[in-house]
Amino acid sequence: MQEARFREYIRRFNVEDHTAFDDYLAPDMHMKNGTLEFTGVEGMKHHYNDLIWPDFVEKLTVPRFVSDAGRAAIQMNTVFTAKHDAEASLFGPVKAGETFEFNGVIMYEIDETDRFSDILVAYNSFVYTDLDGKTRDLGIPH
* For range 34-53, the mean pLDDT: 93
Element (H, E) at 22: helix 19-24
Distance CA 2, CA 24 (A): 12
What pLDDT score was predicted for residue 141?
A: 65
- Please, which pLDDT band fits residue 95 given cuts at 50, 70 and 90? very high
Mean pLDDT of the chain: 95
Half-sphere exposure of 96 (CA within 13 A, CB side): 3
Q: Give CA torsion, residues 66, 120, 1, 116, to 10 deg.
A: -170
The residues, any chain, with a CB within 8 Å of residue 40's CB and separated by 6 or more, are 27, 28, 29
pLDDT at 142: 66
